[in-house]
Structure 1
Amino acid sequence: MSITIDGPAGAGKSTIAKIIAKVKKLTYIDTGAMYRAVTLKFIQNFVDTKDAQQIEALLADIRIELIGDDIYLNGTNVTEEIRSPEVNQLVSEVAKLSPVRKKMVEFQRTIAAAQNVVMDGRDIGTFVLPDAAYKFFLTASIDERARRRFEEQRRKGFTTSLEDVKSEISNRDRIDTERELAPLIQAEDAILIDTTGLSIEKVVDKILSYIQ
């Protein structure tokens, strides 16, 4: 069984997906973390996002592993590092690159073919797993999403302003919805849930009510 949870940055996808996976005893796959790991690799290797040869060489050398709630990049645990402001600023630019998306989508489909999953991202229900049993699309106002992301970064020790976070999220929304390959869009058969003002528990209950 596959459950997809899509939506823009800060909508609560990862938090909700982890809980759903635990309750339903499914494997949670954080596709956003995969793209963040690739982005971190770009940053570490000073890769130009417009240089096809550099991108091809990096993708040939990259190895991503999901172990529990941690993500490993070529054997190194980068779970915290991929949430840095530097990665936040570049991840949508890297994720829209066709070679990157094709490699990650292939990886994601391979995982889903082998086990029951809850997978969250931006194009899971529309592109990665279009035949998933259950599809959800989470959204929230940009002010709410910015506040959540700001609080998350502050808890992790990153220094930034709420206005900068809001601007960053707005920019990511634009890039994600306008990219040529698999843009962020609600699948026609996905259930829309606006999480603005809702507690995590209420959102989880809504999703579980549809699944059960």
Structure 2
Amino acid sequence: MSSPIIAIDGPSGVGKGTLAQWLCCKTGFHLLDSGAIYRALAYGVSKAGIDLADVDNLVNLAEVLPVEFKATSVIYDGEDVTSTIRTEEVAAIASKVAAIPEVRTSLLKRQKDFAQAPGLVADGRDMGTVVFPNANVKLFLTASAEERAKRRVNQLKNQGVSANIARITQDIMERDERDRTRSSSPLVPAEDALIIDTTDLSIQEVCEKAQNALSEAGI
């Protein structure tokens, strides 16, 4: 492996994105937000009115997905969709699309292409198990559904959006079950991953645990 790779996996709301951004700033590595790729695909599917049962057209869109990452922004076909793809509606579609094996296969090469010098921080659900099984460091973040729902509600409130915590908790649990039981690339920790439960940890404490793992790997 020419450039070091740090794989961060786990369900939504556990702090993967925050940790990934921190590690990128710390190391100067590139960032792969695989979740944003799937959300962008979900946005495109919704925009084009493609039925989720229409696998051929889903794959066709995945193969030519007009998505770009510019700094902290996600650009879809020239449109800034950074905020749009973070809605619960898009997330629900993304989870269903991500469960389709043919779609995952279509997006696999695009994700692998992000591995370039000086290194890569890959944030997703199967980075350490499927996309980069030989990653130098593998981290798997987890947290209770209740805590993750609280974080999501606070995030939405800060954006001026009202939210139902019971509904969000239920959505999270259903999404987790879908991700864990899908036939292609289920959400599971890699055998050699460091598992970090962020339920009762501060961001600083999570970053410190990750930094220790990098130090042990010589990064």
Question: Structure 2 length normalisation: TM-score?
Answer: 0.92
Task: Tell me how many residue pairs correspond in the alignment.
Answer: 212
Matched, 1:23 2:33: no
Q: How far 1:160 sits from its partner (Å)?
A: 2.2
Structure 1 26/60 Cα, relative in aligned 2: closer, same or farther at 3 Å? Answer: closer
- Read off the aligned partner of 2:111 and give its amino acid letter: Q
Q: How far 1:156 sits from its partner (Å)?
A: 2.5
The partner residue of 1:119 within 119, 122, 132 is 122
Matched, 1:34 2:37: yes
Q: Matched residues in 2 for 1:104 and 1:52: separation?
A: 14
* Residue aligning to 1:82: 85
The answer to whether the 8 A contact 1:64-1:72 is kept is yes
Q: Matched residues in 1 for 2:97 and 2:144: separation?
A: 25
Q: How far 1:25 sits from its partner (Å)?
A: 1.2
Q: Matched residues in 1 for 2:117 and 2:26: separation?
A: 20
Q: Matched residues in 2 for 1:143 and 1:98: separation?
A: 29
Q: Matched residues in 1 for 2:164 and 2:29: separation?
A: 36
Structure 2 stretches of 5 or more lacking a match?
A: none
* Residue aligning to 2:213: 210
Q: Matched residues in 2 for 1:77 and 1:117: separation?
A: 24
Q: Matched residues in 2 for 1:22 and 1:206: separation?
A: 16
- Read off the aligned partner of 1:21 and give its amino acid letter: C
The answer to whether the 8 A contact 1:84-1:158 is kept is no
Q: Matched residues in 2 for 1:181 and 1:45: separation?
A: 25
The partner residue of 1:96 within 99, 103, 106 is 99
The partner residue of 1:160 within 152, 160, 163 is 163
* Residue aligning to 1:135: 138
Q: Matched residues in 1 for 2:160 and 2:102: separation?
A: 33
- Read off the aligned partner of 1:109 and give its amino acid letter: K
Structure 1 54/159 Cα, relative in aligned 2: closer, same or farther at 3 Å? Answer: farther
The partner residue of 1:71 within 67, 70, 74 is 74
The answer to whether the 8 A contact 1:85-1:158 is kept is no
Task: Provide, for residues 167-204 of structure 1, a one-character-per-residue CA deviation record: whole Å limited to 9, x for no partner.
Answer: 11101101100111111000000001111111101100
- Read off the aligned partner of 2:17 and give its amino acid letter: S
Q: Which runs of 4+ in 1 moved over 4 A?
A: none
- Read off the aligned partner of 2:134 and give its amino acid letter: D
The partner residue of 1:56 within 41, 56, 59 is 59
Q: Matched residues in 2 for 1:118 and 1:44: separation?
A: 30
The answer to whether the 8 A contact 2:30-2:116 is kept is no
Question: Structure 1 length normalisation: TM-score?
Answer: 0.95
